[in-house]
């Protein structure tokens, strides 16, 4: 029996409602039913918790407008009852929403408020768990910013120290789960810090943190299971980067064994890819080909499944449209629809007026992006080769204009440009561990030469160059292959070489002027020239 019918048929107490929230935390329809039931019964804590769950749900699904709307309702109740736990969470989620919208000043202000109320939480365990999460989010705010490594390190270390000092005596089951999840995440974040954010990478400093995470498979196996698949996969990538291919492969194999029970085909696909690359690095052609075949076969299977899903979804939409038409034949219902439509129209006009300027800029950015894609797709291979292979005359003027201190012969410069062309066409920029040193080593050239050629001929610094290639790659995939529009943002980030979805969103917005979610929704829309309604 669903909760809606259960709530109507039985008189739930407020404590029973709160327990149901825990059970139904991933079911939006049941959360709504609990919230409405709490309002009807005048359960203030039940209604507040429902608003928090709705704020969190819509945030996790990319609907920042609705998330912020519910946060305003929740804030009013939380302030009235001086509920510091709720207020801290409200501002935490609001900070995350602001970050997605790239309102970083507002995001940091909200997180500071979250810390303020977090420090007022009486329960010391809840206080530490909440502050641990907030500090980790602060670190995320600085990812992608230039010269922000010290800030990222500061907040990640602060987050880890806070969870390590959490009082663990008498933890509830939920608190114990949160504690171990946050502790493992803290160690993992520190490993990622020294592997991907510090330049140059400090792999020896990163390794102990990764090993601490693996230790939980023995000391706290029940909680390690929550993230064992992703953990083994991430550690496999780390040891691949450290060129410890034997250990890397062992971890990938463990991940594959776990995946059989958890059944995550897309994760399996990524692991096949990593195993393929690892065996390639070991010059084990037989194993490389084995996992290449597995990768290709699974990739084709996923593509076919995605295609069927899209077709089935289209059929369902048609069916729903037919049912809607039949219902609308009722005259009384039509009158309600007209009145509702009129009210909705007035609301939409009011909202449109407020957001007009922002939407106009976003719409312009989207239109420009689509136009650039079309133009890029029209370029012939010959035109691209001509631009790349005839750089000599421009080289001298570029050198003079930029006051270059690095002297590069024309022959060397032409060779580097040809290698860059191969690098771009082979999509090697999708590898997560790519950096200036490793790339120059692969191309058998001097890092300074490579950096200078990229600066002169691509008008970008190395990191910006890699980001632009990655974002352009996924932009093209989304535009040309509709199946990609059905993927989660985290998968798209992984697909184009980012370890963090947040960094991917920031890079995407910085390069294109729109967020990935906006771009996808506009591509999926029947008429891309129409703005989506903001509700």
- Are 493 and 501 in contact by the 8 Å Cβ rule? The answer is yes
Give the sign of the dihedral formed by CA 503, CA 507, CA 510, CA 514: negative
Helices 285-327 and 265-281, axial angle in degrees (round to 10): 160
Q: What does the block give as tokens for 64?
A: 């920042």
How far apart (Å, rounded) are the C-alpha atoms in residues 48 and 356?
32
What number of residues does the chain have? 535
- Are 48 and 78 in contact by the 8 Å Cβ rule? The answer is yes
Classify each residue of 435-454 as buried b or exposed e, where b means 16 or more C-beta atoms within 10 Å of its C-beta. bbeebbeebebebebbbbbb
Mean pLDDT of the chain: 80
Q: What does the block give as tokens for 55?
A: 């704020």
- Are 240 and 277 in contact by the 8 Å Cβ rule? The answer is yes
How far apart (Å, rounded) are the C-alpha atoms in residues 40 and 11?
11
Does the bond joining 200 to the residue before it have cis omega, within 30 degrees of 0?
Answer: yes
DSSP letters spanning 183-227: HHHHHHHHHHIIIIISSS--HHHHHHHHHHHHHHHHHSHHHHTTS
* Position 282 pLDDT exceeds 70: yes
Give the pLDDT mean for 431-446: 84
CA-based nearest residue to 533, from 347, 364, 368, 369: 347
Other C-beta atoms closer than 10 Å to the C-beta of 186 total 25
- Are 403 and 432 in contact by the 8 Å Cβ rule? The answer is no
Give the pLDDT mean for 216-238: 92
Q: What is the CATH number of domain 1-122?
A: 1.25.40
Give the pLDDT mean for 328-341: 49
Q: What does the block give as tokens for 262?
A: 């958890």
Q: What does the block give as tokens for 215?
A: 């230790």
pLDDT at 88: 96
C-alpha neighbours within 13 Å on the C-beta side of residue 336 = 7
Q: Is 131 helix (H, G, I), strand (E, B) or coil?
A: helix
**pLDDT per position as a tens digit, 150-209:** 888 999 999 999 999 999 988 998 899 999 999 999 999 999 899 888 878 899 999 999
Q: What does the block give as tokens for 400?
A: 């003079």
pLDDT at 483: 86
How far apart (Å, rounded) are the C-alpha atoms in residues 127 and 115?
10
CA distances from 329 to 140, 275, 332, 334, 417 (A): 52, 58, 9, 7, 66
CA distances from 42 to 6, 14, 26, 33, 51 (A): 18, 9, 24, 14, 14
- Are 184 and 157 in contact by the 8 Å Cβ rule? The answer is no
CA-based nearest residue to 190, from 164, 169, 224: 164
Give the pLDDT mean for 391-398: 36
How far apart (Å, rounded) are the C-alpha atoms in residues 217 and 206?
19
How far apart (Å, rounded) are the C-alpha atoms in residues 92 and 134?
7
pLDDT at 346: 47
CA-based nearest residue to 231, from 211, 208, 201, 247: 211
Which range of 23-32, 163-172, 323-332 scores highest in mean pLDDT? It is 163-172
DSSP annotation of 62 reads T
pLDDT at 178: 92
| Choice among 301-310, 338-347, 407-416 with the minimum mean pLDDT | 338-347
pLDDT at 333: 46
Give the sign of the dihedral formed by CA 5, CA 64, CA 60, CA 93: negative
CA distances from 200 to 193, 203, 241, 435, 442 (A): 11, 9, 13, 9, 17
Is the CATH number 1.10.10.60 carried by domain 378-524? Answer: yes
Domain limits of the chain?
1-122, 378-524
Return the C-alpha torsion angle 438, 441, 443, 448, nearest 10: 90
Residue with tokens 């312009």: 364
How far apart (Å, rounded) are the C-alpha atoms in residues 150 and 204?
19
Which range of 241-245, 324-328, 333-337, 349-353 scores highest in mean pLDDT? It is 241-245
* Position 252 pLDDT exceeds 90: yes
Residues 6+ apart with CB under 8 A from 231: 184, 188, 213, 214, 224
């Amino acid at each position: 029996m669903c909760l809606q019918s259960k709530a109507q048929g039985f008189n739930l107490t407020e404590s029973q409602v709160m327990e149901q929230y825990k059970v139904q935390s991933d079911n939006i329809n049941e959360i709504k039913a609990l919230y409405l039931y709490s309002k009807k019964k005048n359960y203030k804590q039940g209604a507040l918790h429902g608003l928090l769950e709705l704020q969190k749900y819509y945030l996790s699904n990319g609907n920042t407008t609705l998330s912020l709307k519910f946060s305003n309702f929740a804030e009013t109740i939380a302030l009235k009852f001086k509920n510091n736990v709720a207020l801290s969470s409200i501002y935490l989620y609001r900070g995350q929403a602001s970050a997605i919208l790239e309102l970083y000043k507002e995001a940091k202000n909200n997180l500071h408020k979250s810390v303020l109320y977090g420090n007022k939480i009486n329960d010391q365990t809840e206080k530490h768990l909440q502050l641990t999460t907030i500090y980790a989010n602060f670190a995320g705010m600085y990812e992608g910013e230039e010269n922000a490594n010290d800030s990222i390190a500061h907040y990640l270390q602060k987050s880890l120290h806070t969870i390590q000092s959490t009082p663990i005596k008498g933890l509830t089951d939920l608190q114990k789960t949160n504690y171990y999840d946050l502790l493992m995440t803290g160690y993992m974040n520190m490993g990622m810090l020294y592997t991907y954010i510090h330049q140059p990478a400090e792999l020896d400093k990163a390794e102990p943190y990764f090993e601490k995470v693996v230790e939980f498979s023995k000391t706290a196996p029940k909680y390690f299971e929550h993230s064992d698949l992703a953990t083994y996969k991430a550690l496999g990538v780390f040891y691949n980067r450290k060129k410890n291919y034997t250990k890397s492969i062992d971890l990938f194999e463990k991940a594959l064994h776990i995946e059989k029970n958890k059944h995550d085909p897309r994760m399996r696909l990524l692991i096949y890819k990593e195993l393929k690359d690892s065996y390639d690095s070991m010059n084990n052609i037989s194993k490389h080909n084995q996992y290449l075949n597995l990768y290709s076969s699974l990739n084709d299977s996923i593509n076919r499944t995605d295609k069927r899903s899209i077709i089935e979804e289209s059929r369902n939409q048609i069916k729903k449209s037919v049912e809607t038409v039949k219902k609308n034949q009722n005259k009384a219902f039509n009158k309600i629809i007209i009145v509702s439509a009129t009210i909705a129209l007035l609301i939409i006009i009011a909202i449109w007026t407020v957001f007009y300027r922002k939407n106009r800029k976003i719409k312009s950015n989207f239109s420009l992006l689509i136009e650039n894609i079309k133009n890029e797709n029209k370029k012939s291979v010959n035109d691209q080769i001509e631009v790349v292979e005839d750089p000599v005359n421009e080289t001298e003027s570029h050198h003079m204009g930029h006051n270059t201190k690095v002297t590069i012969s024309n022959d060397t410069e032409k060779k580097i440009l040809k290698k860059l062309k191969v690098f771009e066409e082979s999509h090697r920029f999708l590898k997560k561990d790519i950096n200036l040193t490793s790339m120059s080593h692969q191309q058998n050239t001097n890092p300074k030469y490579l950096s200078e050629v990229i600066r002169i001929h691509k008008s970008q610094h190395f990191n910006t160059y890699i980001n632009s290639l990655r974002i352009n790659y996924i932009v093209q995939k989304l535009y040309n292959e509709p199946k990609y529009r059905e993927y989660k943002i985290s998968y798209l980030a992984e697909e184009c070489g980012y370890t963090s979805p947040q960094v991917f969103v920031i890079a995407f917005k910085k390069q294109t002027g729109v967020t990935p979610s906006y771009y996808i929704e506009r591509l999926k829309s029947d008429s891309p020239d129409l703005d989506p309604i903001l509700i």
